[in-house]
A and B are shown apart, each in its own frame.
Chain A
């Protein structure tokens, strides 16, 4: 395949992990409780998305992020300066790569995290392991775990992180801006039939996304409807099923270092794929992998995808709102 080895590993890891993640009850937000003062420092208490009680100092100055989406969110909240450590996979914004590395999200280096003296460690339920959270807990390091399951959850989670990290107004205004963009997008797409799409997570074997994932919700927001209705998060799909569904569009979310064009041109020569209407007519949509990152930047990707799938909805009225350059939907 044309995808790089690194990407292959990342995708394989993601799929393996995500495939095993179960939907649980939605995000829980509890009001901050005034906490007992310990060693002369005021601590505040929050319930994280897993319902765990997290006790940390108000406005934590040293933050360690255990997921790319959280790193992006912290930067979007304009708290990038306080980010002391990030994972090996935290590639956005570029400045994130100047921070101390703590290893991969699945097995971060506990020694390194301790050495960074974090006031709080941020984790996600989907990408990090419960073992890691428990181990940090035993070492006396507060861990705040997020668990957004929908685009709406991401907005709420962003607002909440702003509050937990002591930047409540930043969180409020960022979340409000995200809400506005979502409302505007919904307005533009109102009355348009969603495109029937097949989202390609991986080609060998063919893996798509189930209907309960964050990604499936992001697709819905972009005016797309996945033809895959599996309950599993990252189902392996038979090519016969893809042909039977005959989707309007194939959607790829690739990192910039990948070669989606090469992948697409190879599809034209593949038995099965080559007889798909979407392949014959060149109905491909390629968006940034931010589409699959539950962080504020996903809105750029959602809008980008909506433009590619429904170009007429964006026709003359306005200039693009975000900094994203829309890529051509037709190849």
Chain B
């Protein structure tokens, strides 16, 4: 394995950022109506310089008011889910860990639904409810996973699976017994959807994303040591309890954020960190930023395919992430073994 240098981190991240930019441009270009690259450039330039009224109102609406908010949301959701997945995998030293398996997503979904039942009128109720739900689920799973005063990976994973099915049952119960206009939209949202971005302040989402990923990044070196085992990490001077708490909290925030705006988009938290590991190695100092960028690339690509493949009909983005992600993952996994 190559030495990890600051230079290598920069090069990999710059390359991934380049791919992301390319994917975003293609996503802006293609749709029910495609725009030529020249027109797209002109449109973006005019919009950036505040002359958007010169642009044909059709393309202004489609590119700036429909496609761009959707892409922005896809990037934020992808980065959040991927980094959350990578974090849970490190904490549990278990490659199967991700927000869905651990029940954190179900907690976030239940929190969103409860917030809609009790406080639908309050602005920002859904993201806040999702965050509280994710935190509560994480805390519950964390304590379920304790064995003899220590966090046991397998007990925790089992606890997560049990929590996930229990919370899903609660959601099912609420959705069949309580009726309401908002809940009807909920059923669709639960399947994972980016097709109708609700007007959330992308600036706030981005700020939360950066803060949470930043918090996880401060523990990157410790996470590397944790991979070798908790006892060993402790002997090497890692404050294991603190690292776990920081990462659990930040990963819950990320999951709550993603679920509250897009519902249950699966496979991303599992797939992207694995792909990044196969391509660039498992050092968390590189893995965290690369996973964030990779997640953004994955979800923007998946959502672009979801809305163009059988256009004008749109597929749920969750179906695309699974459909595209699984074969790529298997291919890379087999190649890395030979």
A and B from one assembly?
yes
A contact set with B: CB distance below 8 Å = 16-17, 19-24, 88, 100-104, 106-112, 114-115, 117, 125, 129-132, 134-135, 138-140, 232-233
B32 touches A135 (CB 8 A): no
Q: In B136-193, which residues have CB < 8 Å from any A CB?
A: 175-176, 179-188, 193
Indicate whether B312 reaches chain A with its CB closer than 8 angstroms: yes
Indicate whether B51 reaches chain A with its CB closer than 8 angstroms: no
Indicate whether B123 reaches chain A with its CB closer than 8 angstroms: no
A232 touches B176 (CB 8 A): yes
Q: A103-B313, A111-B67, A139-B66 are in contact. Are A22 and B198 (CB under 8 A)?
A: no
Q: A109–B31 Cα gap in the complex (Å)?
A: 10
Q: In the complex, what's the smallest C-beta–C-beta distance from B227 to chain A, in angstroms?
A: 41
B184 touches A129 (CB 8 A): yes
Binds A, one of B15-23, B57-65, B77-85: B57-65
B176 touches A19 (CB 8 A): yes
Other A-B contacts than A17-B187, A129-B188, 9 sampled, CB-CB below 8 A, are: A22-B179, A24-B181, A100-B312, A101-B313, A110-B66, A111-B67, A114-B66, A115-B33, A132-B196
Q: A139–B195 Cα gap in the complex (Å)?
A: 14
B31 touches A107 (CB 8 A): no
- The CB with the most chain B CB atoms within 10 A, among A100, A109, A138, is that of A109
Q: A19-B176, A20-B180, A101-B312 are in contact. Are A109 and B185 (CB under 8 A)?
A: no
B179 touches A20 (CB 8 A): yes
A131 touches B32 (CB 8 A): no
A21 touches B196 (CB 8 A): no
A109 touches B311 (CB 8 A): yes
Task: Please name all residues of chain A whose beta carbon is closer than 8 Å to the beta carbon of B285 when the two chains form the complex.
Answer: none
A111 touches B62 (CB 8 A): yes
Interface majority SS (helix, strand, loop, mixed), chain A: loop
Choice from A17, A24, A112, A140 contacting B32 with Cβ under 8 Å: A112
Q: List 8 A-B contacts (CB under 8 A).
A: A20-B186, A109-B311, A109-B313, A110-B66, A114-B61, A115-B62, A117-B58, A132-B196
Q: A21–B178 Cα gap in the complex (Å)?
A: 9
Q: A19-B176, A114-B62, A233-B179 are in contact. Are A109 and B314 (CB under 8 A)?
A: yes
Task: Please name all residues of chain A whose beta carbon is closer than 8 Å to the beta carbon of B314 when the two chains form the complex.
Answer: 103-104, 107, 109
Choice from A108, A110, A130, A132 contacting B182 with Cβ under 8 Å: A130
Q: In the complex, what's the smallest C-beta–C-beta distance from A6 to chain B, in angstroms?
A: 13
Q: In the complex, what's the smallest C-beta–C-beta distance from B57 to chain A, in angstroms?
A: 9
B196 touches A20 (CB 8 A): no
Task: Please name all residues of chain B whose beta carbon is closer than 8 Å to the beta carbon of A20 when the two chains form the complex.
Answer: 175, 179-180, 183-184, 186-187
Indicate whether B244 reaches chain A with its CB closer than 8 angstroms: no
Q: Which residue of A lies closest to B184 (CB)?
A: A20
A111 touches B179 (CB 8 A): no
Q: Which residue of B lies closest to A129 (CB)?
A: B185
Q: Which residue of B lies closest to A50 (CB)?
A: B181
Q: Which residue of A lies closest to B316 (CB)?
A: A107
Q: Which residue of B lies closest to A212 (CB)?
A: B179
Indicate whether B274 reaches chain A with its CB closer than 8 angstroms: no
Task: Please name all residues of chain A whose beta carbon is closer than 8 Å to the beta carbon of B186 when the two chains form the complex.
Answer: 20
Map CB proximity to A onto B297-338 as digits: 1 under 8 Å, 0 otherwise: 000000000010001111010000000000000000000000
Q: A17–B175 Cα gap in the complex (Å)?
A: 10
Indicate whether B6 reaches chain A with its CB closer than 8 angstroms: no
Q: A139–B196 Cα gap in the complex (Å)?
A: 12
A109 touches B179 (CB 8 A): no
Q: A135–B67 Cα gap in the complex (Å)?
A: 13
Q: In the complex, what's the smallest C-beta–C-beta distance from B81 to chain A, in angstroms?
A: 20
Task: Please name all residues of chain B whose beta carbon is closer than 8 Å to the beta carbon of A114 when the two chains form the complex.
Answer: 58, 61-62, 66
Q: In the complex, what's the smallest C-beta–C-beta distance from B204 to chain A, in angstroms?
A: 18
A107 touches B193 (CB 8 A): yes
Q: Which residue of B lies closest to A231 (CB)?
A: B179
Q: Which residue of B lies closest to A126 (CB)?
A: B184
Q: In the complex, what's the smallest C-beta–C-beta distance from B211 to chain A, in angstroms?
A: 28
Task: Please name all residues of chain B whose beta carbon is closer than 8 Å to the beta carbon of A112 when the two chains form the complex.
Answer: 32, 311-312
Indicate whether B237 reaches chain A with its CB closer than 8 angstroms: no
Indicate whether B50 reaches chain A with its CB closer than 8 angstroms: no
B62 touches A21 (CB 8 A): no
A131 touches B196 (CB 8 A): yes
Choice from A24, A101, A111, A129 contacting B33 with Cβ under 8 Å: A111
Task: Please name all residues of chain B whose beta carbon is closer than 8 Å to the beta carbon of A104 when the two chains form the complex.
Answer: 313-314
Indicate whether B203 reaches chain A with its CB closer than 8 angstroms: no
Task: Please name all residues of chain B whose beta carbon is closer than 8 Å to the beta carbon of A129 when the two chains form the complex.
Answer: 184-185, 188, 196
Task: Please name all residues of chain B whose beta carbon is closer than 8 Å to the beta carbon of A23 when the two chains form the complex.
Answer: 179
Q: In the complex, what's the smallest C-beta–C-beta distance from A84 to chain B, in angstroms?
A: 13
Task: Please name all residues of chain B whose beta carbon is closer than 8 Å to the beta carbon of A110 when the two chains form the complex.
Answer: 66, 195-196
Q: In the complex, what's the smallest C-beta–C-beta distance from A90 to chain B, in angstroms?
A: 13
Q: Please provide the 5 A-B residue pairs with the shortest distance between their CB atoms, ordered closest to farther.
A: A22-B179, A20-B184, A109-B312, A112-B312, A111-B32
Q: A131–B67 Cα gap in the complex (Å)?
A: 16
Q: A19-B176, A21-B179, A22-B180 are in contact. Are A111 and B31 (CB under 8 A)?
A: yes
Q: Which residue of B lies closest to A100 (CB)?
A: B312
Task: Please name all residues of chain A whose beta carbon is closer than 8 Å to the beta carbon of B195 when the two chains form the complex.
Answer: 107, 109-110
B181 touches A21 (CB 8 A): yes
B65 touches A138 (CB 8 A): yes
Q: Which residue of B lies closest to A136 (CB)?
A: B196
Q: In the complex, what's the smallest C-beta–C-beta distance from B183 to chain A, in angstroms?
A: 5
Task: Please name all residues of chain B whose beta carbon is closer than 8 Å to the beta carbon of A17 when the two chains form the complex.
Answer: 184, 187-188
Task: Please name all residues of chain A whose beta carbon is closer than 8 Å to the beta carbon of B193 when the two chains form the complex.
Answer: 107
Q: A102–B312 Cα gap in the complex (Å)?
A: 6
Task: Please name all residues of chain B whose beta carbon is closer than 8 Å to the beta carbon of A233 when the two chains form the complex.
Answer: 179
B196 touches A22 (CB 8 A): no
Q: A139–B188 Cα gap in the complex (Å)?
A: 22
Q: A132–B61 Cα gap in the complex (Å)?
A: 15
Q: In the complex, what's the smallest C-beta–C-beta distance from B121 to chain A, in angstroms?
A: 13
Q: In B194-219, which residues have CB < 8 Å from any A CB?
A: 195-199
- The CB with the most chain A CB atoms within 10 A, among B176, B181, B183, B196, is that of B196
Task: Please name all residues of chain A whose beta carbon is closer than 8 Å to the beta carbon of B182 when the two chains form the complex.
Answer: 130
Q: A102–B307 Cα gap in the complex (Å)?
A: 12
